[in-house]
Structures are given as structure tokens and as C-alpha cells.
Amino acid sequence: MIKKHNHRQTTFFDSDYYCGSLIPKTSFFRRFRDLVGPLITDEMFSDLYCGNNGRPPISPSLLAKAMLLQYHMNLSDREIERTCQFDLEVKFALGLRIDARPFDHSSLGDFRERLLKSGREKNIFDQIVDQLIKAKLISRNEIQRIDATHVIADIALPSMVGMVKKGSFEILKKLKVHYPKVYAKVSSRLLTDDYSSGRINDDGPGRFSMEKRAERLVKYVEDARFLLKEVKEIEGHPEIKTATEILKTLLQENIDEDTVDGKPIEIEAQKKPKNRMVSPIDPDAKAGAKSKFKKFIGYKTSITQEVKNQFITNVDVMGGNRPDSDPTVAMVEEQILKHDLLPKKLIGDTAYGDGIDRRDINQYGSHLIAPFKEANPRTKAVFPKTMFKINRSNNTLTCPTGAIAKAHFYDSANSSMIFHFPHPACGKCHLKSQCTKAKEGRRTVRIYDWQEMTNESHRYNLTDEFKKDMKLRQPIEGKFSEMKRLHGLTRTRYRGLKKVGLQCFFTATVVNVKRWIKLEYAAA
């Protein structure tokens, strides 16, 4: 249960007594204590603990503030534990006694699990954003920018044999703890030495020929299938259920049967699913790319940032295989719901130029400002849709030379009408070579339900105002650089989407606090 702390008499061991005049007023830790300390209280986390039973836990507000300092200093759990014992600035920031050994590093892991299970991993970030709004450091209805960056997963990339072995190992490990009799039964069938913690990452001595690799894969796939069959009746156990689903997915996405002898073989790389699992250790990590040459395994984190004071207003995390723009609308909606923040304009790069996102953002009264993607080589030299006039009343489309086409059909899946211009009109047109390169010799145009809005965006992108807007986008790259270089966001600390999300939320909170402290000091 949460213990209510009563005011106690000051002693010589209080950090205030020693550090009150020792730590300068400009210190980050002093200002952290003054600005952030009062905002994070035990009452915020009281529902995560039993209210009337058990020993009082370590103060959850202390753990939350220690985690913020941990991310600020880019320390591990053990390192922040030691820092809280011996660093006077940190003790002062957390209000600890000089002789205090405040918590064991394992308490941080327990606190994170409580936050994750309750879905509260983003609450501190939201708390700080609310306070910045109250302090008028974040204004409503101002210009924001949006971008995404990649975060490399904390995993090694195993071979196909290694992936299957690791998938089986996770099941065996849980069987040994929860169902020792079943474990003993399968152990008599499997060479369990191959699945020991010491050898699970051992891919075998030396280099194997293609034939030997195929033989080893057959052996471990057959082991995996035998294991799945044996645990089928106990898949109701949550941990074993998760492990078996991971192994099943690995086999389904990567293994096929040889058409000649029926033995398991690896599916060709180009035939595997694009969003396939790349590691059983972190199933949420995905293969992604930020450009043609920048490929990675891991996650993407997206942020929205207001332009004036450069505070992060929202954060989202997703698998590395998803497009940068996927969470755009959801991030705007969340800002409106939680903080009543609606960006006047939302500025992004080419990845955010999709017409659907523009339509959905515009529905809230905001405007998505982004360059359009370059036309592909086949359509690059043809007349753009902006040169065609749509008549919604009779569903006709008029080309630049005056030819008229009626809607051929409506594509409900893509919310668009397809127009085929007549062969006679296109055949004798003197501008045909500039209008279409289609083999059928006529122009076909797809007009979306929001085409007029897209056309207006095209026209806006030709103005000087658009050029001014795009100059506001670049500084968001510096914020990502700060989060990566100084606060460890280059690589994930944890595994799994929710845990990586927690890392990103706390990192974003830290950079907001740093910016807040800097502005408060400048105004003082």
C-alpha cells in the first residue's frame, strides 16, 4: 500500500542542508527538483498498489523521477541505482537524505511493469505537456511539425536454424518451470543440450555446406513440430501460449515442404511476408527502411513538435516496417482529446503527402503541409490531374483540350471514380504525347472523393508561403539527434512494442523538461 509521508524534522543528513547553497541555481538538477518534483506525486500511482494491505512500497513518485534522471543521464538500472546512492546532485534533485540507499535496481523493473500493465506508461509525458500548456509555453492552434526516426532493436539476427532453435528454447524454458513432467517427456526425445542457455546461440563450429545447413534445418524444424504437438493441450497457459504462437509464426512464415522428398526447407527470401518476424526474442521488431540505402531492424518513433518553443506535443511508436505517416491522424486526434491541442498547420516531409491523411487532418480544421511524392517515370511527363476539371453534378471530367469523359465506374475500396477518355478524342488530339503514354492509346484518370482538396494543395505547394512553411520543418531533425546522441534512443533498451514505447515516452519527457528548464532560466 502507498504510505502517506508526514512532514519530518530536518536533520544533518538531509541533502537540503548540505546542497542548498552548494548546487548553483542554474543547475539542471535544482531546476528539475523545483519544476518537475511537485508535479509527480505518489497519488498519481496509488491505484497501481494495494490500498490497505502489505508493506509500504518504495515511493512510486521517487522511482518515476529517478527514471527521468536515468534517461537524462543515459544510465542503466544498476548505474542509476549507484548514482542515487553517491551523487549529491541527484540526491538533491530527488529530495533524498545523504545516507539514503533509496532503492534496488530491480525496483525500477517492477515499476515499469506496473506502468505497462496499467497502460500508464505515457502519463508522465502527458502530465508535463499539460503543465507546459498551463505555463503558456505551448499554445493552442499553433504550427506544428511531424517526423519519424528509426530505433534499432536490441537483438542479434540469427540464422534460420538459430531462429527455430530460439523459438523452441522459449517453450522449453517455460515448460521446465511450469510443467516439469512434460519437460521431462520431451527431453527424452530432444537433444536438450542443444537447447541449453549456454548453447542456444551456438550455430555450430566452422562453416557448413549448403547440404549440411539443410540437414540441420530439417532436424530443428522436426524438433519444433514435435514440441508444438506435445504442448498443444497446455497452450492455455499465457506464457506458453505466447511462446507457441511465436514458434508457429516462425515456421509458417519461413518454412515450406520440399516438393521432391517432403522435407522442410526454407522459403526463398523474396517469397517471405514483408512484415515477417525477424527474431523470436523480440517479435515486434520488424525489418524497415528510412531510405533506399538506410535499412534497419527495429522500430519507428514519430513525434509532433510545436514550432515556437520546440516542445514535443505527442509521441507514437510502431514496427519498423510501417510507413512514417501511419500514425499521423491518430496523433492529432490524441492531442485534441488529451490536451485540446489542434495544430494550425502540421508540416511534414514527402512521406506525409498522402491525400487520405490530408483529408482526415483537414476534417479537424487543421492543414497538413507536405511536398507530394515525385511522379513515377511512367507518368512523370504526362499532364497532372490538376489540369482536368471535374463536374460532380453529372460525374464528368474535362481534359485541357475540352474532351469530356464520363465516369466508367466507382471504386468504393479507394473512394474514387475512374474516367476513360474516348479513343476517337485521344487518337486525334495534338497533345496526346504530352498527356499519356498508355499502351491502349487513351488517357485514364482516377479522381478521388477529396480530389479538389488535393488540387488545392498542389496549387498551395507552388506558392512562396509553402516555401516558408517547409523551412520550419528542418529543426525537428535536431530534436531526434538530441534524443539519440544524448539520451540513448539510437537503440532500444527493452524488447517489445510496449516497452520500447515506454522508452520513447520517457525520452521525449526528458527533452521537454530540458527545454522547459532552459526557457525558465532565460526568463528569470
Q: Which residue ranges form the domains of the chain, and what is each CATH number?
A: 15-119 (no CATH), 144-151+286-365+466-519 (3.30.420), 160-271 (no CATH), 385-460 (no CATH)
pLDDT given for residue 110 in this prediction = 95
What is the C-alpha to C-alpha distance for residues 337 and 83, in angstroms, rounded to an integer?
38
288 sits in which H/E element: strand 286-289
pTM of the predicted protein model: 0.89
Q: Are strands 416-420 and 264-266 parallel, antiparallel or unpaired?
A: unpaired
Q: What is the pLDDT of residue 51?
A: 66
Among the listed residues 310, 349, 345, 317, the one whose alpha carbon sits nearest the alpha carbon of residue 331: 317
Going by C-alpha positions, the residue among 475, 461, 465 that lies closest to residue 511 is: 475
Name the DSSP class of 491. B
Q: Which of 342, 343, 350 is nearest to 325 (CA)?
A: 350
Return the closest-CA partner of residue 345 out of 466, 489, 225, 248.
466
Q: What is the pLDDT, as a whole number, of residue 16?
A: 66
Residue 126 φ then ψ, to 5°: -65, -35
Q: Grade residue 10 by pLDDT with cuts at 50, 70 and 90.
A: low
What letters, b where the CB count within 10 A reaches 16 and e where it falls short, cover 20-39? eeebeeebbbbbbbebbeee
Closest alpha carbon to 243 in 153, 318, 177, 309: 177
pLDDT in the model for residue 260: 73
CB of 285 closer than 8 Å to CB of 155: yes
Model confidence at 460, in pLDDT bands (50, 70, 90)? very high
How far from the centroid of its chain's Cα atoms is residue 340's Cα? 23
For residue 19, pLDDT over 80 is answered with no
Cα–Cα–Cα angle for 293, 324, 129, rounded to 5 degrees: 130
The more confidently predicted of residues 292 and 6 is: 292
Q: How far apart are CA 62 and CA 90, in angstroms?
A: 11
In the predicted structure, residue 31 carries a pLDDT above the cut 60: yes
pLDDT score, position 206: 55
